[in-house]
Amino acid sequence: MSLSRTRIVSIGEVMIEMARGSDGRFGQACGGDTFNTAVYLARHGLEVAYATALGDDPYSDGIVALASAEGIASDLILRIPNRLPGLYLIETDAAGERSFQYWRDASPARELFEFPDWNRVAEAMLAARLIYFSGITLSLYSNAGLGRFLAILEMARQAGAIVAFDGNYRPRGWKGDIQRTRTVFVEALKRVDIALPTFDDEALLWGDISSEATVERLQAFGIAEIVVKNGPNSALVSSAAQQEFVAVPNVVVPIDTTAAGDSFNAGYIAARLAGGNPADAAIAGHKLASEKILHRGAIMPRTAQAVH
């Protein structure tokens, strides 16, 4: 990989977040799985750009301002006149588990690879050090958009980019069409170097009975590095060197599990890019996720994040 490749390109959707606090009132922020990971990667001092499409409204302005404040490059955020970003509400139960309601069908992020400027994102992908996306990213696009995205992903990988993918399966985003979901995932998995799935998602989409079964299925695609997250339980890390369960160093009682997996992924990727081995990188991911779930919302205060 060329030393000139320094940039991580994270691709997906960032939305307005309305989260109900302990007082019953909603607080406004923003979030989205790949955006959350981009924030936590940037906080590690990595060069990160976020690729999406937003409107030309004040809420979109606020999202771009947050990205800039977090050190995320916004040159790959397309601004579309007379459009609005998606919106979601989070309700959190007594155990810290969350439920979501979405208003996102008209989000411009869904057409990222169909707008006239989509080649700007494509060029950045071809020059990236690492490309990060998720199953939610895939759920956004039409077949035409997916065709473009997957083609560029393949070319970028051939040019030297590392491709990292979190399965992040949300049935509602696929309108219950499990066959289309599986077909799209299969095409994406053919182009992945680092898989960062969550076991519950894999069991739901593929019927996997164990983390080992998930690893075996993903290895069939030629994916050399796999980390199966499993909440407070050990993550199963599989690489060319070995396969092992890596325990959570410090299990905490969560306040809000939103973005637990997103922050884990950032901790893992940052540690790997810094030269750490997969097992140590999983520990770094566990530690960051453990800090995140002690805070409400997708993005914890910067002062709360210790970089490992």
Active-site residues: which are they? 262
Quick check: helix, strand or coil at residue 61? helix
Contact 286, 249 (CB under 8 A): yes
Greatest C-alpha distance within the chain: 52
Neighbouring residues of 211: CB distance < 8 A, sequence distance ≥ 6: 199, 228, 230, 236, 245
Residue 90 β-bridge partners: 19, 100
Neighbouring residues of 220: CB distance < 8 A, sequence distance ≥ 6: none
Pairing relationship of beta strands 130-134 and 194-195 according to DSSP bridges: unpaired
Exposure string for 147-157, b = 16+ CB within 10 A, e = fewer? ebbbebbeebb
- Residues 126, 10: Cα–Cα separation, whole Å: 13
- Give the CB-side neighbour count of residue 170, counting CA atoms within 13 A: 17
| Residue 232 neighbours by CB distance under 10 Å | 16
